A and B are shown apart, each in its own frame.
Chain A
Amino acid sequence: MSEAPAIQRLLARTARRLTLRRAMRQALRGAATASGLACVGLFASRIGLETGPMALWVCLVAAGYVLAFLGGFHRVPVLHAARLLDAHFGLGERLVTAAESFGQPGLMPQLMLRDAAQRAARVDVRRLPADPLGGETLLLILALIAGAVLWSLQPDSPAASARVTQQAGSPDAVAGETPAESASASATPPPSRPGLEQQRPSGALRRALDGDAARAALDQSLLASDPKPANSGERVAPGGQAPQESGVGPTRASSTGEGGQDPSPTGRVPPRVPDSDRGASRAAFHRDPAMNDLPGSGGAAQPSGQALSSAHAAGAGSAISGHGSHATAGVSDPGQEARARSTIRPSLDPPSEATPAAAVPAPAASASGAFLRTGVPPALRDYVLRYFHALQASPRQEDPS
């Protein structure tokens, strides 16, 4: 019988077309989904959400879609093609019955196959209406447009990067512009924690920070504190806020005298503390709500280095914001902290004779002791210690002045 191969060829051809069509649909859906997920990711990073787990979810969903897409390449069954042809060309279920009648004994199946083949000969598969792909195409276009818009608004986009780089490289960006201004200008989301070298200031501020007087003052004020047991980072504000009781930021800022403004994104500037009254003013800082805005999340412009104009407070806050729990866990052992301090102390301990101590007045012993006993967060302390350790290990630059 020549009818059966003819019907089988027709059904196979139709099944191939349907398979291809389904693959196209799957591809469109996959592309639309990927674009949508990219939009979600861009939007999340735009509003400052944590994107780490989101990236994981995006990857998982994308992987699932890849699998579904591969599943779409499964060949459409011949019976399905026969059903479609029957329904569209009004064949009265001839092809479905014929597809089930291949090889059946008896005269009636053969007669039926002949009848089906005669009808199928008039069928043009190309006239089979294609499934409309308009929905998927529209979805893809919308997702692509949304992604493009979000991407263009993204600070990490080339245009925004160029702008930020320009600001960071200018001296004004280092010394003149407060971090609050930088943050409000660029609206940079909280970055992942940069390396320690990246946090180091440059230019005039770097030189100022490298001064022996500043190092001596910090050494005196920080290393004299007794290590306190870690308290699971309870003083590290959630969401990367700076520790509320940190007095290091303002102290350092006032000691540098350059750009020592509050890096708060709100732009609020904490009151300047007279050097002579630093201990008391720290206590006041602890109660000052403005300190809650210290640069945990507010140290936004740090990746480009300009946030260091806010002195160490920004760096410390940023470090805690990015790795608050990490840092806390790192100093959970008081003995470990004491060992670290003993390692660093010989190199920092002797104050430089070249720099007069009066240039950077050390806090009064009573005030300093009171401050340190109020409990500097171990994580902050650990960070400052590590910072100075790295500072010590870095090559010195002679102050041109």
Chain B
Amino acid sequence: MKPARDTVSVEAELQELESRCERFRTIFRRIQAAIERTVVGQPATVEAMLIALCSRGHVLLEGVPGLGKTLLVKTLAAALGLPHARIQCTPDLMPADITGTLALVESSDGRRSFAFQHGPLFANLVHVDEINRATPKTQAALLEAMQERVVSVGGQTHPLPDPFFVLATQNPIEMEGTFPLPEAEMDRFFYKLRVEMPPTETLVDILRLTTGAVSPSAPSVVTAEELTELLALPREVLVADDVYRRAARIVRATHPTCPEAPDVVKRCVRLGASPRGAQALILGGKAKALLAGRFNVAHADLDAMILPALRHRILLSLDGEGGEEGADALAHAAAERVRNET
């Protein structure tokens, strides 16, 4: 009778896992709906941002002023119910301003000592506004926090809270007085999302929503437990070797020195995507697969994640900068080449 009981047990566990996957989809769609009630006309951006959140990745939002980038981040923080902080980057912003510093404090008995005062980085969700206005020194401090999820101050390492999620924004137009992010820091961002100008009907909805007497606000729609599950489950999704190989080939095809790169990549790209790009493809594909009701990553999941995962990891050459092909077109060309070969 023991095998039968084992079978029953396995069956129950399978059902439990299946219900977890179903819960993942439910929670995800719930958060997405809550955000879209406030941020109108950016469903793809919202979904990609949530996928990055589920993959524990950081997001760089790029768009001209006034498109709702800051609103999007604030709404997400509100919907998640997480402690969040905002850092407005300026050229005089110092690393200690974001990481925290040692301050001399006096105790009640009059003894003085140095104590670490946490900076705004010690939040679950950090909104770094206009990140390219910060100096490289500050950007480097942010880089350590993003990659290592720790802050080192005064010889001491302070871990950042979990989850730690950086949402940075930058304006691609105003370049005066800015410090473009170095490639290494750019590579730390899981996704780079472009916030596009909404179409007319969407703009009308935005106007109707934001010019009334009551401003919309997103309530918290997820508990800490649900959020933990949201972050944990995607890693369990299965990936076939074929899919791994495809992701690797796509990334390699973005390198001009690789033989499998298309001609346009060889001409317009100076440096292709890093292995982090392939990781972003796979991790994002896993969350995407769960959302699609699958327990394995498909090629279509990778294809959906190519642009946000690779566009900021492709460095254009002079020809590429001067030509019409942007990083998006080049990433598409690389993926198309791999798709045709398989």
Query: Judging by beta carbons under 8 Å apart, are B299 and A93 in contact?
Result: yes
Query: Judging by beta carbons under 8 Å apart, are A96 and B242 in contact?
Result: yes
Query: Judging by beta carbons under 8 Å apart, are A92 and B241 in contact?
Result: no
Give residues 226-247 of B contacting A (CB, 8 Å). 236-243
**Cβ contacts under 8 Å, A226 to chain B:** none
Give residues 54-100 of A contacting B (CB, 8 Å). 79, 83, 92-94, 96-98, 100
Q: For chain A, what secondary structure do more than half of its interface residues adopt (helix, strand, loop), or is it mixed?
A: helix
Q: Is A354 positioned at the interface, with any CB of B under 8 Å from its CB?
A: no
Contact with A along B21-34 (1 / 0, CB 8 A): 10000000000000
From residue A97, how far is it (CB to closest CB) to chain B in Å? 4
Query: Judging by beta carbons under 8 Å apart, are A97 and B240 in contact?
Result: yes
Query: Judging by beta carbons under 8 Å apart, are A107 and B297 in contact?
Result: no
Give residues 287-342 of B contacting A (CB, 8 Å). 289, 292, 294-300
Q: Is A108 positioned at the interface, with any CB of B under 8 Å from its CB?
A: yes
**Chain A interface: which of B11-19, B183-191, B193-201, B268-276?**
B11-19
From residue B13, how far is it (CB to closest CB) to chain A in Å? 5
Q: Is A193 positioned at the interface, with any CB of B under 8 Å from its CB?
A: no
Closest to A79 in B: B242
Q: For chain B, what secondary structure do more than half of its interface residues adopt (helix, strand, loop), or is it mixed?
A: helix
Query: Judging by beta carbons under 8 Å apart, are B296 and A112 in contact?
Result: yes
Q: Is B10 positioned at the interface, with any CB of A under 8 Å from its CB?
A: yes
Q: Which of A79, A83, A96, A112 contacts B295 (CB 8 A)?
A: A112
Closest to B241 in A: A100
Q: Which of A79, A94, A97, A107 contacts B14 (CB 8 A)?
A: A107
Closest to B17 in A: A107
Give residues 1-57 of B contacting A (CB, 8 Å). 10, 13-14, 17-18, 21
Knowing A92-B294, A96-B240, the reply to whether A111 touches B299 (Cβ < 8 A) is no
From residue A78, how far is it (CB to closest CB) to chain B in Å? 13
Q: Is A333 positioned at the interface, with any CB of B under 8 Å from its CB?
A: no
**Cβ contacts under 8 Å, A386 to chain B:** none
Query: Judging by beta carbons under 8 Å apart, are A115 and B295 in contact?
Result: yes
Q: Is A110 positioned at the interface, with any CB of B under 8 Å from its CB?
A: yes
Knowing A111-B14, A114-B14, A115-B295, the reply to whether A97 touches B239 (Cβ < 8 A) is yes
A108 to B236, CA, bound (A): 7
From residue A3, how far is it (CB to closest CB) to chain B in Å? 11
**Cβ contacts under 8 Å, A112 to chain B:** 238, 295-296
**Cβ contacts under 8 Å, A110 to chain B:** 10, 14
Q: Is A101 positioned at the interface, with any CB of B under 8 Å from its CB?
A: yes
Interface residues on A, range: 10 to 19
From residue B59, how far is it (CB to closest CB) to chain A in Å? 26
A109 to B14, CA, bound (A): 10
Closest to A109 in B: B238
Query: Judging by beta carbons under 8 Å apart, are B299 and A108 in contact?
Result: no
Query: Judging by beta carbons under 8 Å apart, are B296 and A93 in contact?
Result: yes
**Cβ contacts under 8 Å, A108 to chain B:** 17, 236-238, 295
**Cβ contacts under 8 Å, A96 to chain B:** 240, 242-243
**Cβ contacts under 8 Å, B17 to chain A:** 107-108, 111
Closest to A113 in B: B295
A-B pairs with CB below 8 Å: how many? 55
Interface residues on B, range: 20 to 34
Closest to B16 in A: A107
**Cβ contacts under 8 Å, B300 to chain A:** 92
Query: Judging by beta carbons under 8 Å apart, are A93 and B242 in contact?
Result: yes
Closest to B289 in A: A92
A110 to B21, CA, bound (A): 14
Query: Judging by beta carbons under 8 Å apart, are B237 and A93 in contact?
Result: no
A109 to B13, CA, bound (A): 12
A112 to B17, CA, bound (A): 11
A107 to B237, CA, bound (A): 11
**Cβ contacts under 8 Å, B21 to chain A:** 111
Give residues 211-256 of B contacting A (CB, 8 Å). 236-243
A97 to B13, CA, bound (A): 21
Knowing A107-B13, A111-B17, A114-B14, the reply to whether A93 touches B295 (Cβ < 8 A) is no
Query: Judging by beta carbons under 8 Å apart, are B292 and A92 in contact?
Result: yes
**Cβ contacts under 8 Å, B295 to chain A:** 108, 111-112, 115
From residue A101, how far is it (CB to closest CB) to chain B in Å? 6
A96 to B242, CA, bound (A): 8
Closest to A104 in B: B238
Closest to B297 in A: A93
Query: Judging by beta carbons under 8 Å apart, are A93 and B243 in contact?
Result: yes
Query: Judging by beta carbons under 8 Å apart, are A100 and B240 in contact?
Result: yes
From residue A195, how far is it (CB to closest CB) to chain B in Å? 62
From residue B110, how far is it (CB to closest CB) to chain A in Å? 59
A111 to B92, CA, bound (A): 54
Q: Which of A79, A83, A97, A114 contacts B238 (CB 8 A)?
A: A97
A347 to B68, CA, bound (A): 122
Q: Which of A94, A100, A101 contacts B294 (CB 8 A)?
A: A94
A79 to B295, CA, bound (A): 18
**Cβ contacts under 8 Å, A94 to chain B:** 294, 296, 298
**Cβ contacts under 8 Å, B241 to chain A:** 100
A195 to B241, CA, bound (A): 69
Give residues 97-138 of A contacting B (CB, 8 Å). 97-98, 100-101, 106-112, 114-115
Closest to A116 in B: B296
Closest to B296 in A: A97
A94 to B300, CA, bound (A): 12
Q: Which of A79, A92, A107 contacts B296 (CB 8 A)?
A: A92
**Cβ contacts under 8 Å, B242 to chain A:** 79, 83, 93, 96
Q: Which of B10, B14, B236, B240 contacts A93 (CB 8 A)?
A: B240
Contact with A along B170-211 (1 / 0, CB 8 A): 000000000000000000000000000000000000000000
From residue B235, how far is it (CB to closest CB) to chain A in Å? 10
5 closest Cβ contacts across the A-B interface?
A92-B298, A97-B296, A112-B295, A97-B240, A93-B298
Q: List 11 A-B contacts (CB under 8 A).
A: A83-B242, A93-B242, A93-B297, A94-B296, A96-B243, A97-B238, A97-B297, A108-B17, A109-B238, A111-B21, A115-B294
Chain A contacts to B: CB under 8 angstroms: 79, 83, 92-94, 96-98, 100-101, 106-112, 114-115
Besides the contacts A111-B18, A111-B21, what 14 more A-B pairs have beta carbons closer than 8 Å? A92-B289, A92-B300, A94-B296, A97-B238, A97-B239, A97-B243, A97-B297, A98-B296, A100-B240, A107-B10, A108-B295, A109-B238, A115-B294, A115-B295
